[in-house]
């Protein structure tokens, strides 16, 4: 009799534990990164990647790979999220003729409309790429 009573308590408790354990990883799993590739005005390639991190922030990575592969070329860049500037500055390409900038930021409520723009200071080449998510 006592075993039957004990089983009636343990079985539902075990079932609830297994169901809850199965639900937690599904909620905690990070969404996959969203990546867009584009072509700039003079043929260079641009890349924008946005990923939601485990801590609730979003990581934004923007880069350009120049078609001429020249190092030391200065680029000005700006990244906006829902019309608010989240990154702005200038950088120079590394040995392979590319640059990349990364920033983690707090996401805004609703959809994030992220636009990244870069301009080559010498040639005037422009890159514009966006992700809505």
Residue 81, domain extent: 34-132
**Bridge partners of residue 79, in order along the sequence:** 87, 116
What is the Cβ-side half-sphere exposure of residue 104, based on CA atoms within 13 angstroms? 6
Q: How confident is the model at residue 7 (pLDDT cuts 50, 70, 90)?
A: very low
26 in the same domain as 75? no
Question: Residues of the chain with pLDDT > 90: what percent?
Answer: 65
81 in the same domain as 18? no
Cα dihedral across residues 85, 87, 93, 96: positive or negative: negative
Cα dihedral across residues 76, 77, 83, 87: positive or negative: negative
95-123 pLDDT, tens digit per residue, is 999 999 999 999 877 788 999 999 999 99
36-82 pLDDT, tens digit per residue, is 999 999 999 999 999 999 898 999 999 999 999 999 999 999 999 99
- At residue 21, the pLDDT reads 45
108 in the same domain as 49? yes
For the chain, what is the domain count?
A: 2
Beta strands 113-120 and 126-132: pairing type?
antiparallel
126 in the same domain as 98? yes
More confident residue, 109 or 10: 109
**Bridge partners of residue 87, in order along the sequence:** 79
51 in the same domain as 10? no
114 in the same domain as 63? yes
What is the pTM assigned to this prediction?
0.75
Closest CA to 55 of 32, 30, 26: 30
72 in the same domain as 24? no
């Amino acid at each position: 009799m006592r075993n039957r009573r004990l089983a009636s308590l343990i079985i539902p408790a075990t079932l609830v534990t297994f169901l809850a354990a199965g639900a937690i990883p599904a909620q905690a799993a990070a969404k996959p990164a969203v990546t867009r590739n584009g072509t700039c005005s003079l043929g260079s390639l641009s890349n924008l990647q946005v990923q939601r991190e485990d801590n609730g922030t979003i990581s934004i990575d923007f880069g350009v790979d120049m078609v001429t592969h020249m190092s030391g070329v200065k680029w000005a860049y700006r990244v906006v999220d829902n019309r608010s500037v989240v990154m702005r500055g200038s950088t120079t390409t590394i040995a392979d003729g590319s640059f990349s900038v990364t920033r983690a930021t707090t996401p805004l409520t609703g959809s994030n409309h992220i636009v990244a723009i870069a301009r080559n200071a010498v040639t005037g080449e422009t890159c514009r790429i966006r992700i809505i998510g």
